[in-house]
Structure 1
Amino acid sequence: TVTSAETVTLSYTKPTTGNDTNAIQDAAGNDAASFAATAVQNNTSAADTTPPVLITTGEHRPKVTGNQLTLTYTDESNLDAANTAAATAFAVSSAGNAAISVNSVSVSGKTVTLTLSRTVATAETVTVSYTKPTGDNVIQDAAGNDAVSFSDQAVTHSTSAADTTPPALIITGDSRPKVTGNQLVLSFSDTGNLDADATHKPASGAFTVLVNGVANAVTNVTVQAQAKTVTLTLSTAVTPGQTVTVAYADPTTGNDTNAIQDAAGNDATSFAATAVTNDTSASADTTPPVLITEGAKAPKVNASTLVLSFSDMGNLDADATHKPAIGAFAVMVNGVANAVTNVSVEPQAKTVTLTLSTAVTHGQSVTVAYADPTAGNDANAIQDAAGNDAPSFAATEVTNNTPAATDTTPPVIATAVVTGNQLVLAYNDASNLDAARTAAATAFAVSSAGNAAISVNSVAVSGKTVTLTLSRDVTNAETVTLSYTKPTGDNVIQDAAGNDAANLIDQVVTNRTPAPPSPGPAPVAPPPPSSGGGGGGGGGGGSSAPAPSPLREPDTDGDGVTDAQENKAIGPTGAAVGDGNRDNVQDSKQAAVASYSATTARGSSTSVTLVVDSKEGQVNADSTARITSLVQKEVPIQMSRALEAPIALTSFKATLGTAAAGSSESFSLYADPKIGANGYWMQDGAGTWVNLASSPYGGKMVSDGGRLRLDFTIQDGGRFDADSKADGIVTASGAVAQMPLSIVGQASELSGGFWF
C-alpha cells in the first residue's frame, strides 16, 4: 500500500513497435505510445499510526474452546492476514497439566486464532503470552502498525462438555433437501453453527447430483453458518417435474477441513442418494434470450468489436465460467472468416460482445452466425440467468459502424501488360480497387500504330488489377499504348476509400504475347498427274493447294503453357526433359504441373516449374486441383531495389478442385539455383513483402536433385490471394528473388512498407 508521504511515478513500454493485441490500444487497434516516468498524484490519506490493541475484558476477551484459542483486537482496520506472527511467537501455559504448544496461527478480520497441540479440558486454567518477533511477520494491522507484546494474559475457558456430535442432514419437513432452478439447499441440525470458513468449504466433487438419473455437476458450494445450510450451485438448472437426488461422500473418516462440519470440527457423515424436493415452479422463466436483428440494437461492429443484443425477461448469465465458447461464433467479412478472440457478456445490458482478430474496415460486409453448443441447457452458451439457452442463428447481417478510413491516397499505376487480348493494369494502393463502380470500356483507348484498330470490349476489376478484354489479339511484334480518361460521376477507377486514379496518356504497355511458332518445312507439292500417252506438250498445270492457316500451339493440359514450352522443362537429376518435377509424367500432360521458359534479367532463358496440391514437389495422387495460367510478369515499379528478382514475377492462377473454398493450398516451384534466390517473395494487400518459402509462413527451400525447390502455402481468399475471394481459385504473383539478409526486418523506402 502506498503511504501518504510517498512520491510515485509510472512508466509504460509498449510491447512491440507495431500493432500488438497485448498493448494499450483503442477499438480500432491503434497502440498507445510508450511513456517515460510520469508523476502520479498521491491521494492516500494520512497514515493510520495506531497499533491494534488486545481486548482483555468483555465477551471478546481471550478465550479457548477445545484446541482453539481466540485473541480479538480493536483497530480501525483489519489485521494483516498475510504477514502475521509465527506459532513460535506465542506461549500457552496450563499449570500442572500437560504442555501445550501452538501448531498454527490464522488471522481473520480482527481475530487471531491459535490452533493448540491438544484440546484444553474444562477444568484447566490457561494463560497466553506473545513476544513480538523481529522483522515483518508480526501481529499488525493493514496499515503496518505492530501490536505490542503481552505476558501471561488470562484466557477465559469456555470449553464445556466437548461437542462431539456431527451435523445431521434434515430429510423431512420444511428443511428437507430442495432445489429451485440451479440452487440445491441442504439443511443440517447441530448444537452449534456450521463451519463457514472459506478455506474449509466442502469440495464440489464430494457431491453427486442426479437429475432424471443423469449427473448434473456441482460448480460451487457455499455454507451459511447460522442457518446451518449448504447450497450447491448446479451446472444446469433443474426444470419443473424432474426427479432429483443428492449424495455426499465425506472426504475422510475423521475431522477434515474440506468437509461439511460444525464449528467444533465434527464432520457430517456421508449420505447415499437422497430425494430432493423439486421446488422449481412451472411458471419459472423458460423463455430463451432472443437476438435483436432490427433497429438500434441490431448486431453492429466497429473495428474489432462486434456487439449482439438480446431480449429477455431477465438478465443474461455473466458467470465467467459460463461464458459462450469462442468457437460457437462464425464471423465473415466480405465472405472471409474473421476469428473471434474473446467473448464478454454484460448481464443487465443483455449484450454479448465479440472481439475480432482483425479490425473490420469501413464499407466491408459483415455477417455473424452462432451455434448453441448443445441441444439443451449448456453452461458455455448464451443463456439467461434462469439457464435458458439462446437458440442457434444462421449468418445474420451486421451493421458496420466502422468509420471511413482516412485514406486519401489515390491508386497509382504499377504495370500495364498485354497478353493476347487481355490487357492488365496493376495498381498499388493501401486497399483494393472498387470492383462495383469501375470505369466503362469507353474510358479507355488502346493504340497500336500501323496495325488494325483495337477497342475495349469489357472491363473487370479484381483486387488491385483492372483487366481489359480487347476486341482482338495483340501480336508479339506490336507496340501498344493505353490512355485512360477519367469519366465524370462515380464510375471511375478508384480504391475502396473512393480515391480516384489519375488519367493515363499513352501509357506504354509491356507486350507479353508469345511469338508465333516457327514455320515448319514447306510442303512438297504432289507430282502432276500423268498425261497418259501422248503427246501434247505443255501439260496443264493444275492449281496449287492453298497455304494452310496458322494454328495456335497446342496446350493439351489447359494450364496456359503450350506443350512446346512444357516439353523443354528441366527437372531434377534423373528426370526426362519435359518432366520439371521428376514424377515420370510429362508436364504437358498434367493439369497440376506447369513449366515455362522465363526470361532472365540478362536476356537468357531459364526453366521454371510450378506444382499445385504439392507434397514435397509431387502431386497428391487424388488431387483435383489444376493450374489454369502460368506466365512471367514485370516487377511492379514500386518494388525496392533491395529485392533482386532476376526472373521478374511468376504469376499464376490455380483452381482448388474439390477442396473447400477458403482452404489453404500447397505449392512447389522449381527454379535454377544459379539465379541466386533465397525465397519466394510475395506482396500482401498492405504492401508488405514476405518470404512465403520460409518456416514462419509454413514454407521452406530445399535442394532437390540440383534444382531449387520453393515450397509455400496460400489460403484461398487470404492475405496473398490477389482476388481476396474465398471462391476456390488462387491467383498470385511472386518473385523467385534474393533479399540481402542484412536488411531483412528493416523498413523499406516505401511509406508503410516493411520486409519480413
Structure 2
Amino acid sequence: MTNSPTLPTLSRSDVSGTSSPARTAALADTTRLATPFARQAKAGQRKPPHREEDNFDNLLTDSPTAMEFDPQNFENTAPLHLAQAAPDNRSGTSESQDANTEIPEPPTASQTSDSNGLSSFLLKPMSEHTPSVVASWFGTAPIGAVLSGSVMALMALQSKDKTTSTTPDTQAPILRSADISNSAGNQLVLRYSESLNDTLPATSAFQVMVDGISTTVSSVARSSDMNNLILTLGTPITRASQVSVSLSDGSVVKDLAGNTASTFRDQAVTVTDLVAPTLLSSQAITNAEKSVIVLRFSETLKSGTLDPANFSISVAGVSQTITAQEVLGDSIRLTLGSKITGTSPNINLQYTPPTDISKAVKDAAGNLAAVIGPVGGVAITHTLDTTAPALNTDTLAVAATERQVRVIRLNFNEALDAGSLPDPSSFTVNVASGGSTQSVAVSSLRLSGSVLELTLATTVTDMQAGLRVSYARPSTGNILKDWAGQAVAAFARSVSTVDAVAPNMLSSRFTNDRTLELTFDENLSSQGPLASAWSLTANGGTVLKAATSSVSGRTLTLSFATAIESSKTALLAYTAPTSDQTALNQALQDSLGNDSGNISRTLDTTGPSLNSVNGAVTSANGLQVFLNYNETLLSPSSSGTPVIPAVSASAFVVRKSTGESIAVSSVSISGTQVLLNLASALKPSDTVSVFYTAPTTNIAVNNAALQDSSGNDAASLGSGVTGQAVTNNAVLVKLDSNVAALDQLVIQLNENITGNLPALSAFTIKAGTVTQTITGIAKDPADGSKLVLSLSGSVDDPGALLVSYTQPSSNPLTGASGKTLASFTDQNFGQVITSTNAADTVNGAANRVDYFLGTTGNDSLSGLGGSDHFVWPDFGASGPSGFTQTLQDFGFKKGSGVLQGTAEADLLDLSQLLNGYTQANQASFLKAIKNADNKLVLQIDHDGGSVFTPTANLLFNNVTVNASNQLLINGQFISDTVNGVSANLTLLTLIDHLRLEGQLIVL
C-alpha cells in the first residue's frame, strides 16, 4: 500500500468531539491530505460491505482482511473487546464522494485498551469518508479500521513513547519517581512510565522508612489513570523527612502487555511540605529609642514584603501604627510608631492573612500562617531591655554538635536580632592539637532565637583536640545584638565536650483528661516538636492528634481536643522529622540538638492494685492500718502544677467484726504504701476489715484518689458489708503509765489482762536515778486493761519517770488475745518536777506525761504537751501563803486547737492540799473568777473556813473569759454539757466540769 502523508495530530480530548484549534486544523487538512484508503473507498475499489446487523465482535475477528495497514509492520495478537455500537437507523448507504465533498462533523468516540497497550476507538455516526478523517486525528500513528455501516472500529497501534512501533510491547514498566503530596500526607505515589494492569502487590511487599524508622503501609491501590500505584500510610508525613520506599517483588507489578516491573530498594521519596508555620512566641521590646514586636515562628519564613494593614496592635487599648515590618529568618520584626511606656501594659496583636498571598506570612514552600489571635488578640509580654545579651554561664553554653566538629553552638541568655548577623569572619575558632594551635575559618552562621550556630569551613576530626571560640565585634556593618539593639560584647570561650545522646522519655502522666505530660531525662530544646508529630491511639482504638505541644525544661506537654478515657489502652506515637545535628529543627531534641527517633510507647493506663500477700495489715500498736500496693503511688501536693489533692480520711472505714467502726483520723502516702492513722487502737484480738470508696474513675492525676504516678486510679476496697480483710499484727503493749496519788503507778495495756500476774520483780520503776520500791501488783477492778503497781511511798524524787519490764518465763503479762507483753527497758513516761519556794519557770517534757509537784512560790508551770499532772502537797493547817501558780498551757479534754483535746487533757490533783473537803461544801474550798486581765483564776481556800479566804491561786494563762463569763482557748469556746444539753463552758460550770471529766481530783 502507499503510505499516506503525515497528518495533524489531535489529543484524545479532541477525539471526543470538543472544539479545539487542533481539531479544526485536522478537519481543514482532511480534503488536501486524503489518504489512499479514502480514495479507494471513493473509487469503489474496496468499499466495505454494510453489515450493521452483524455482531460487532465477530466483525472485529475478521477485521485484518479489511483493514488498510501493513501487517508486516503492525500486528495485534491480543483479543480486542469493545462495547456493541448502537445501530445507525438512517436508511440507505452512503455513496462515494470526490475529494472536494464537504467532510461531515467527526464522530463521537469511546475508548478501550487491550492487554498489549493498543488503544481502540469505537466511533459513530460515520460515512465512507471517516477513515481519512479519523486517521488525521491520530497523527503519525498507524491505524487499522473496520467499517460497518455507520460504525467504525479503529485500532491505533502505538509504541509506549507514543511513536510508531514495529515490534510487540516487551518493555517493562519503569518506576520514574515517588512522592507524597496529598494534603493529608498519607499517600505515597509510585509513578510508572506506562499504564499498569490491575494486579497489585500485597502491603507486606513494601517497606517505607521515615528517617530510618519503618512505617506501616495499610493499603495499595492503582490510580485512575492506571499509571501509578498509591500506598496509603498508617502515619501521615506532612513535613520534609528522609523517606524511602522498597518493593521486595517487582514481578507483581505489570503493564497492560504483562511485562513485569523491577524490584527496587530505598527509592527516595519526595515529600511536599504541607505544614504551615505556627507562632512560637511573641514579645514587645523597648529600648531608649523605639519599641518593636518580635514574632517567632516554627520554621524559617519566606522573605518578602508584608502589608502592615494585616496586623493590628493595641497598647492599653490604643491602636498602634506600624512603621516598618521585616521578615528575618524564622522571625518577624514590627516597629511601632511610638514607644511603649510602662513595664507591663496590656499589649494585644492580631494578624489576618491577606488575599494577596505574596504579602502573606508563609514558609519557603508557600504554606500560609494562620490567623493570629482570637477576638481581642493574643496577649504579648513587654520588656524594657537595657541589658546587653551574653553567653549563658553553664558549661554547655558553647558546645560542638558532634564529636568530629563541624558545627559549634552558642547559647545566649536572650534571643538575638535575626536581621543583624555579622560576617562569619568576626568569629575565630582555634584548634589545639598535637602541641600546636591552628585557626579554622567559620563559613556560615545560623540563628534561631537565642541559639547561634557556627559552621566551620573544615571538619575538626581530632576528637581529642581542644577548641576555643572568640568573637570580636566588627567596627562596621552588622554586629551581634538583641532585638532591643544591645550589642554582645567580645568573648572567648572553650568548646565543651559533645553530648551525642538523645533525650529519653522517663515517665508520662495525664494532668487532666485532655493533657498528657511527658518527662525526659534531660532538658529539651525550647522549640520542641510540632503537635502534628504526635498521635495517641486511645478510647478503644480512636487515633487522636495532639492539638498543642509545648516544652518546659525536662517536660513536654501535649493537649488533645478529646477527653481520654481511663482504663483503656493508650498508644503514644511520635514521628520524628529528618534528623538534624542542630538545635534549630522542630524536633524532640535536647538543648544540644540531639534528635530522638520515632517513639511508639504504650502508656500506663492500669490502676494500682492491693498486694495479694500482706496487702492490708495493722501496726504492732494497733493504731495504724497499712495498705500495700503493687506500684508507687502518687503523693498529694499543693505546691506543684497540677495540684495533687489529698485523699480524704472519710474515704476509708476500718471496722471490727463486732460492727464497731474505728475512725480514720488521717491518711498519708509513701512509696507503695498507704498509712491510715486510727483515732483509737485496735486490740490484738480484734478481727478487722477496711473499706475504701474510690471517686469517679479519672485518668488524670488531679482527682482525690489513690492513684499511681501516671494518674491511674486504684479500685474501691470492700463491697456492701464485706470489707478487705486486714491482717491484725497488733501485739500486747502498754499504752502509758500514770502515777496515781503519787504512790501508785498504772500501766495500761491495749486489751484486757488475763491469767496470772507476773511477780513484782518483773518491774522496775525509777524517778530520776532513784529506784522506787514496788510493794504490790493488781488489775484495776474498774478497767481490766490496767495494771496497778503500788509503791512504798510518794514519788517525790525529781527527774524522768522510767519504767522497765522483763518478761518472766512463768506468768508473763498476757492479754485476751493470748499475746504476751514484750520486755521493755527504761521507757520514759514523763518527768517528776518539784518546784522550789522561789518564783520558778518549770517546763516539762514535750509530748510526755509530766508530774509537777507544787510547793510555795509564784511558779510558772508548762507541760509543753501531753497529759500533765499538777499535784500540790499538804501544807499543813496553816496552808500555803497565798502564792499564785501560773499554768501556761492547761489542756481541756473538750478544748480544741493547739495542746487541747483528749490526748492533751491535764489533771489538777488538790486532794492533799484540801483539808476537810466534801462535795457538799465545795463552794467553801474552790471558786472560779475572772481577773483584771480577763484570764481564768481558780481560787483555793485550803481548809474551807466559814469565810472564803484564798490561800492559793491557780492562774490559767491560756484561758480567757469573755463578757458573758464564757471560757475561750485559742479564740474558741470549750464545749460543755449541762443537764444533757450542749453548751459552752463558763465560770459557773468550770469546777464541776473538770471534776466530771476526771481533770480535777479533790478527794
Normalised TM-score (structure 2): 0.24
**Greater Rg, structure 1 or structure 2?**
2
Normalised TM-score (structure 1): 0.31
Relative contact order (alpha carbons < 8 A, sep ≥ 6): 1 or 2 greater? 1
